[in-house]
């Protein structure tokens, strides 16, 4: 006998589907089909299976004798809030990749593969496609395979039109070539590789400054670019130029300038007995950072411990290798400045000293 409480007809309730609950499986399938061609361009010989399975399979190249895996994960942070407001979704995927692959690069690792996590309340296939196209582009420019990811549609978890991103990168380095910073000593030279802008850090302050100053984000700001263009410029990918440099000479240390700015990131690669002396006049700070400082009335030292201020990667080499390193990086398309030197530490002083005007 049928139990009337389990009979939709008896209770007057219509049959429910997953779509009725707010999850559109067909939209998810369309997204996967949209991104397959872009992911395909990122493939490496080591990839055995990519998008579509329950897991991605990647073998380690036989060129490594003692391979060590290096992993990193990150997000894009509150820069996403500006992406929503400006309806710009094409570059945040590049930010996502760069945050992880630049991080594992500093230990000498060659990125092998990347996975993303895209979460939203209701899936906008067009916006999500733009985001993941950016992810694929970032992977392609880094020589890193996009082998999979997760698209999570969770009604009620996120405001309409918003989403969150996380990324996961795995790379490999020969054990004997891991960069630890342990050989850095007084007299070594600090090189600064130019950033594209604020990259993906300090955007809680950026947004507060925008809210205070109410600028016209679409007005011309820096040459042909608008203020919105400058603020949303994606994080620069340093993988290929730096991997090439490491084949030519000894790189003693690298610091990816992310949250905490120059002041707090450079010490992460330094031995405890040395200090990085950095001259802020050694490079031309992009107009965006001058604008942020003025509009937010931000103190000079606070700028350097919040933003990259125009330097996205700091590289430590010996004095005798400095000129060759600069020439090689410039030939690779990087803008490079000699921004300072390593000296002996005095007591417990902070390990990054930035001289300002």
> Which mean pLDDT values do the consecutive 10-residue runs of the chain (357 residues) have?
51 71 74 79 88 85 96 97 96 98 98 96 93 96 94 92 96 98 98 97 97 96 95 98 98 97 97 97 97 97 97 98 98 97 97 90
- Whether domain 189-355 has CATH 3.90.650.10: yes
CATH topology of domain 25-177: 60s Ribosomal Protein L30; Chain: A; (3.30.1330)
> pTM score, two decimals?
0.91
Secondary structure in 3-state letters for the chain: CCCHHHCHHHHCCCCCCCCCCCCCHHHHHHHHHHHHHHHHCCCCCCEEECCCCCCCEECCCCCCCCEEEEEEEEECCCHHHHHHHHCCCCCHHHHHHHHHHHHHHCCCCEEEEEEEEEEECCCCHHHHHHHHHHHHHHHHHHCCEEEEEEEEECCCCCCCCCEEEEEEEEEEEEHHHCCCCCCCCCCCEEEEEECCCCCCCCHHHHHHHHHHHCCCCCCEEECCEEHHHHHHCCCCCCHHHHHHHHHHCCCCEEEECCCCHHHHHHHHHCCCCEEEEEEHHHCCCCHHHHHHHHHHCCCHHHHHCCCCCCEEEEEEECHHHHHHHHHHHHHCCCCEEEEEEEEECCCCCCCEEEECC
Domain with CATH 3.90.650.10 in the chain: 189-355
pLDDT for residue 12: 57
Domain with CATH 3.30.1330.10 in the chain: 25-177
pLDDT for residue 13: 73
pLDDT for residue 1: 46
């Amino acid at each position: 006998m049928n139990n009337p409480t389990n009979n939709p007809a008896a209770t007057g309730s219509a049959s429910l589907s997953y779509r009725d609950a707010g999850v559109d499986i067909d939209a998810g399938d369309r997204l996967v089909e949209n991104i397959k061609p872009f992911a395909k361009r990122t493939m490496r010989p080591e990839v055995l299976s990519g998008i579509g399975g329950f897991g991605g399979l990647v073998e380690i190249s036989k060129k490594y004798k003692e391979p060590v895996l290096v992993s990193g994960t990150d997000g894009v942070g509150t820069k996403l809030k500006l992406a929503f407001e400006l309806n710009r979704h094409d570059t945040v995927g590049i930010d996502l990749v760069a945050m992880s692959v630049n991080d594992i690069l500093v230990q000498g690792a060659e990125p092998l593969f990347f996975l993303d996590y895209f979460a939203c309340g209701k899936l906008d296939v067009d916006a999500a496609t733009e985001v993941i196209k950016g992810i694929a582009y970032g992977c392609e420019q880094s020589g890193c395979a996009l082998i999979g990811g997760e698209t999570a549609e969770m009604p009620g978890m996120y405001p309409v039109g918003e989403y969150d991103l996380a990324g996961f990168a795995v790379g490999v380095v020969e054990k004997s070539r891991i960069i630890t910073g342990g050989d850095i000593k007084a007299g070594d030279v600090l090189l600064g590789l130019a950033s594209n802008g604020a990259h993906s850090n300090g955007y809680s302050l950026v947004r507060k400054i925008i809210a205070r100053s109410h600028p016209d984000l679409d007005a011309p700001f820096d040459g042909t670019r608008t203020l919105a263009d400058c603020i949303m410029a994606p994080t620069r990918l340093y993988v290929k130029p730096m991997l090439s440099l490491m084949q030519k000479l000894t790189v003693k240390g690298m610091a990816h300038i992310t949250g905490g700015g120059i002041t707090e990131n450079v010490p992460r690669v330094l031995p405890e007995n040395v200090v990085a002396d950095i001259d802020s006049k050694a490079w031309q700070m992009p107009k965006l950072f001058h604008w942020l400082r003025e509009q937010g009335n931000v103190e000079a030292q606070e700028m350097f411990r919040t933003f990259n201020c125009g330097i996205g990667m700091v590289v430590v080499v010996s004095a005798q290798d400095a000129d060759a390193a600069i020439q090689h990086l410039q030939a690779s398309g990087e803008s490079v400045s000699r921004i300072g030197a390593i000296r002996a530490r005095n007591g417990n002083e902070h390990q990054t000293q930035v001289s300002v005007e």
